Amino acid sequence: MSAGPDTSEVVANDYPVHWPVQTRWADNDHYGHVNNVTYYSYFDTAVNAWLMASTGTDIRELPAIGIVAETSCRYLSELSFPERLQVGLSVERLGSRSIVYSLAIFRETDSGALEPAAAGRFVHVYVDRDTRRPVDIPPAIRAAAEKLVRP
Amino acid sequence: MSAGPDTSEVVANDYPVHWPVQTRWADNDHYGHVNNVTYYSYFDTAVNAWLMASTGTDIRELPAIGIVAETSCRYLSELSFPERLQVGLSVERLGSRSIVYSLAIFRETDSGALEPAAAGRFVHVYVDRDTRRPVDIPPAIRAAAEKLVRP
Amino acid sequence: MSAGPDTSEVVANDYPVHWPVQTRWADNDHYGHVNNVTYYSYFDTAVNAWLMASTGTDIRELPAIGIVAETSCRYLSELSFPERLQVGLSVERLGSRSIVYSLAIFRETDSGALEPAAAGRFVHVYVDRDTRRPVDIPPAIRAAAEKLVRP
Amino acid sequence: MSAGPDTSEVVANDYPVHWPVQTRWADNDHYGHVNNVTYYSYFDTAVNAWLMASTGTDIRELPAIGIVAETSCRYLSELSFPERLQVGLSVERLGSRSIVYSLAIFRETDSGALEPAAAGRFVHVYVDRDTRRPVDIPPAIRAAAEKLVRP
């Protein structure tokens, strides 16, 4: 959208980790841009891939797993396959049983600059793998999330 | 999640239209429930399918198209293929150039009851198909959206 | 494609079961038609939904599960959201440990006719849920598959 | 599958180009492995991304576009997020109006080896962008495809 939203507040340096995400051919919808739904797939993938890389653990096998309780996204500019993206990861609130991520999506330009394309929130609530009742965040996950807390 | 969120506020009767949406095998992710991203695909599909059915028009061919500016979702309960769903559609705000939808997802039980599974918002901003600059909502779309405004 | 493939051989009556499948907004890709990948999602969904409905069983909880060993699809005509589809299901070969499905996708026209859009094959090999070693097809699945064998 | 298919015939060196493809969190389905449908998304993405990179052209804007006429896949081993993949690209037949790709998917091991996970075929037929009637392969695409023809 040429008119649009104010992107000046979404700054790459505010996100302690940038996680690269590839676009796919079918990410583009009928309007020739990445479908709004797919942005959440970038969020979902970046958060979990980073947790797995950072902890060196298959987080899906831990006794407590993160269930998504709430998500939101503001779309700042159109994206299109085959653009290369970086998901900005930060933690807004680290509770005892939940983590609120503040996320952003940036398009990599040819010069290597990062242009903001979206800003979002992503809330994980930790539950027992079997009973699905709320439990404390596993220590390995907590240690990883702490690295994302904005100063 | 057994603990969880207060679902008492999400009531099927508050949504003037219920649009049926099928689940797909691959909607379920590693945790054996519908992935959080997919809920937005239900929203996206229901809004657009209803607009097309209600207007009798291929809305993608109108001079102005609805671009998604913002979305959000609160997840109230887990879903799983092959459950049958209904998306509750209502309009929270009908502007001159944008429509704010208030949406919900309900699981159809065997007895025909609708159990709330998610509540969300979905904002369409209308733009010129070619220039992508903001323009007024097309009359056919406006007339359809008016039917969804909550009394 | 206007030129195209010979569709005369794909006849709805050759498929003992027709399973309805909805299209979704984002099924359409950059070219404004349903992406080739998504046809397999229609196959996947129809086979598993029918097996679950026909057996009255959550087949994912059986000791043996069907793993997909091979698939193929010939695309006969373009599809587009929000078209309504029927997946034609038949069994070409019912082995002791594997099932070869012969499938088709039909577009429902306004007059209720079914126009062929694709023809495919889908091979399930049954494996032990835990060890993932080949085992015999569970009796409930076999009984369901027998109903799909072409006379 | 532990029993399995013969993977000895799928050799990375037989594919002139290896295109890296990322897995996503939701690629895994209920059975905790990448869904069979998603393999085709890897194929689709790799072929088109390579054509765009190799030609330096947005192939979607050419007067002739490649429409998928036929695809197939044999699944050789299970994949799981967050594995890193390489799609092997080769051309089996380069006609005047169509290209038959022979493709493979390899999992990158920690030591950098490539283990075969799937082998497939992917047929593009070129059609006029507007009329969708068959036409000759555009010169830029043909030049790119020639580089993939196996010696």
Q: What is the residue-wise DSSP string for D44-95?
A: HHHHHHHHHHHHTS-GGGSSEEEEEEEEEEEE-S---TT-EEEEEEEEEEE-
Ordered by where they begin, the domains of chain B are: 12-146 (3.10.129.10)
pLDDT tens sequence across B127-142 = 999 999 999 999 999 9
Judged against a pLDDT cut of 80, whether residue B151 lies above it is answered with no
* Residue D51: band (very low, low, confident or very high) from pLDDT cuts 50, 70, 90: very high
**According to the model, what pLDDT value does residue A150 have?**
87
What is the interface pTM, i.e. ipTM, of the complex? 0.95
Q: What is the pLDDT of residues B20-76, one digit of tens each?
A: 999 999 999 999 999 999 999 999 999 999 999 999 999 999 999 999 999 999 999
The beta-carbon neighbor of D28 closest among B29, B37, B81 is: B29
Q: Please answer whether residues D23 and D106 qualify as being in contact, where contact means their C-beta atoms are separated by less than 8 angstroms.
A: no
Nearest neighbour of C28 by CB, restricted to A25, A29, A37: A29
Q: How confident is the model at residue A66 (pLDDT cuts 50, 70, 90)?
A: very high
| Residue B4 confidence (pLDDT) | 59
3-state secondary structure of D133: coil
* pLDDT (mean) for B89-102: 98
Q: Would you write out chain C's pLDDT as a tens digit for each of its 151 residues?
A: 344 577 778 999 999 999 999 999 999 999 999 999 999 999 999 999 999 999 999 999 999 999 999 999 999 999 999 999 999 999 999 999 999 999 999 999 999 899 999 999 999 999 999 999 999 999 999 999 999 998 7
Mean pLDDT of B106-123: 96
pLDDT score of B2:
40
Nearest-Cα distance to chain A for B148, in Å, is: 22
Determine the Cα–Cα distance for residues A151 and A128; give it in Å rounded to an integer: 30
Backbone angles phi, psi at A58, to 5 degrees: -80, 95
pLDDT at D5: 72
Kindly tell me if the per-residue pLDDT of D63 is higher than 70: yes
Query: Which residue is it, tokens 């013969």?
Result: D6
Q: Which amino acid is at C13?
A: N
- Give the pair of three-digit tokens for residue D110: 């920690």
Torsion angle defined by CA atoms of residues B14, B47, B44 and A105, in that order, rounded to the nearest 10 degrees: -90
Question: What is the rounded average pLDDT for all residues in chain A?
Answer: 95
Residue A52 pLDDT > 90: yes
Kindly report, residue by residue over C97-124, the tens digit of the pLDDT.
999 999 999 999 999 899 999 999 999 9
Q: Which residues of A touch C (CB under 8 A)?
A: 25-26, 28-30, 32, 35, 37-38, 81
| pLDDT (mean) for A12-37 | 97
pLDDT value for A2 = 40
Chain C residues close to D60, C-beta within 8 Å: 30-31
Question: How much is the pTM?
Answer: 0.96
pLDDT at D1 over 50: no
Using a CB-CB cut-off of 8 Å, the residues of chain C touching A38 are: 26
pLDDT band for position A1 (cuts 50, 70, 90): very low
Distance from C-alpha of D52 to C-alpha of D31, rounded to nearest angstrom: 34
**Chain centroid, CA B57 distance in Å:** 19
